[in-house]
A and B are shown apart, each in its own frame.
Chain A
């Protein structure tokens, strides 16, 4: 019921946006959707399982390049431009296809390739936990970047690919958001999703009731990679050009903030986080342009927006480490629930137990 109402509202908003927004604003709306898909994917990969991946953007990059190579017109990917491309791909022509069909193919192919890479990468990496998996996935991201920069015969190196047809519309982008939300929520209430949550809460107990940890984590990793890859293709067809710098560590950090800000493990939190982190820099850009507080004139400052976001993020980590929504979802239950501090305790606990009480357990009262 609420879902249907939400869909109608979304459709009304998109129709309104189509009719009255400038193309720049429309692009911003699409970017919110694309980032939301990535954030939902990371919510599944890391939020559901507690396995912290810093390599998500690697799949974003793979998806963007795969999608772009499929739909770029053959004359722009001829052997003299991209000599390393296999013949069938160089001649693969979608220019006469309906744009949305070409985009759908690009997104699905991007998702499947990213998911296949995730199986190969995840099989060894998902055996690790805690810091170790964060470091190893960061390594994966850097390897992807090195390949994108150096494999010039296919990727054009640091210059990146351009001439990608702009097929992505706000409608398609939000369709992917809805599919991702639906899939993520369905996954969570399925036995596989329950297994993910269970092994996050207590590895030993989960093993005890017969959950195989590796396949469970691998499924979450591959699920996340598929949607991130598809979102990469959406991005490529939104901005029309891709370059390795788009898929750097900074992007990873932004997506991680989206997910953590919304609440690690909350799908709707990821969407809200994506919206905040995509739109906030736009508002803050005006701050960068200079403003006045009372009599104080603040000049134009580049980087100020980033500082404000980063400091804001640190404050959230300190004062509300579970993010805005924690593990919960935005919905009827959320709207009608009791005041937050009533049951905040339970939500806090749900996020902590990945850690073994070891050296890190500096007692509470050493604060300050």
Chain B
């Protein structure tokens, strides 16, 4: 039972990180129909920002704040430089361009930071084990991850459903042309979507760094791929769907490893993607997605 509880906490924490990354993907996809592979590089740059400020002796909350600001700026710049000139281009062109951005940023990071992994300065508070009773304990990092994901998701929901900008965002995702005719500045909406999504990726970067303990220029690929699977599971473009998909994926992954025989657990990624393909075939619109994709 304790093992189960411990794995449950682990899965909740992993799912929370995936959720923070997946929301950014889902927001951008909902509006632009762009699968932004370079989102992982936003996360990677966030992690390097955190290490930079952490090494300069700033306090942890300030480090997180600077990281979030930096990633928001990176995300907005990416949109302005690479994606805006392609507004209205075919989906595949956008997808390929984001792959190009991803490779360019990865290699720029290798150029400037070196390919060697660096240790992530996790504050002592986060590595502490907090007893929960019943033999269970939770690490500070996991607690912070779960709580911050929860708080940010609530804030995001309020933003999307209760504010004027949130309404504009939903309108643009629904029908960009109609939104423009209603006087919504689509460009502003897109910038805000990139800024918020990237800021959340910044938070995820710090949490991922604290979880894994080291960072490197190619670290963005795995989280973005998983987040991507999460958005597919939940339904492309649906924010609640992305969050739900992220937790489904987090639980699936942790429990696969925990309860599969040793020799099969190294096939974890294969299982994850087999599940993805099965979902695409049975319910391609995802758990919460509404739009039926073109299917033959």
Contact = CB atoms under 8 A, between A and B. Distances in A.
Chain A bound to chain B: yes
B276 A139 contact: yes
B92 A314 contact: no
Nearest to A368: B84
A145 B101 CA distance: 24
B182 interface: no
A130 B294 contact: yes
A362 B100 contact: no
Nearest to B86: A318
A351 B277 CA distance: 27
Given A311-B104, A366-B187, A359 B97 contact: no
Interface stretch (A121-129, A159-167, A270-278): A121-129
Interface in B268-296: 268-270, 273-274, 276-277, 280-281, 284, 293-296
B104 A310 contact: yes
A361 B181 CA distance: 13
Interface string A303-321: 1101101110110011001
A304 B270 CA distance: 33
B35 A131 contact: yes
A263 to B, nearest CB: 13
A124 B96 CA distance: 24
**Those 9 A-B pairs whose CB atoms lie nearest each other, nearest first:** A139-B273, A310-B104, A303-B107, A146-B270, A306-B107, A360-B33, A303-B110, A310-B103, A213-B296
A134 B93 CA distance: 12
Contacts of A309: 103
B67 to A, nearest CB: 23
Chain A interface size range: 35 or more
Q: Pick from A134, A318, A364, A367 the residue with the most CB of B within 10 Å.
A: A318
A363 interface: yes
B32 A360 contact: yes
B266 interface: yes
A171 interface: no
B281 to A, nearest CB: 5
Interface in B95-140: 95-97, 99-101, 103-104, 106-108, 110-111, 115
A142 B270 contact: yes
Interface string B11-43: 000000000000000000011110100000000
Given A52-B92, A356-B294, A143 B270 contact: yes
B87 A132 contact: no
A47 to B, nearest CB: 11
Interface stretch (B168-176, B192-200, B253-261): B168-176
Interface of A: 52, 124-132, 134-136, 139-140, 142-143, 145-147, 149-150, 203, 213-214, 217, 249-250, 253, 256-257, 260, 301-304, 306-307, 309-311, 313-314, 317-318, 321, 351-352, 354-356, 358-364, 366-368
Contact of A366 (B87, B107, B268, B294): B87
Contacts of B33: 131, 358-360
A68 B147 CA distance: 51
A306 B103 contact: yes
Chain B interface size range: 35 or more
B267 to A, nearest CB: 6
Secondary structure of the A contact surface, majority rule: helix
B90 interface: yes
A361 B31 CA distance: 10
Contact of B295 (A129, A134, A314, A318): A129
A297 to B, nearest CB: 16
Nearest to B34: A360
Contacts of A130: 91-92, 293-294
A130 B33 CA distance: 11
A317 B91 CA distance: 12
Given A134-B92, A360-B33, A313 B270 contact: no
Interface string B179-190: 010000011000
Contact of B294 (A125, A134, A203, A362): A203
B88 A128 contact: no
Given A253-B99, A302-B110, A367-B84, A128 B295 contact: yes
Contacts of B35: 131, 134-135
B86 A128 contact: no
A213 B295 CA distance: 10
Contacts of A301: 111
Contacts of A358: 33
B174 A359 contact: yes
A257 to B, nearest CB: 8
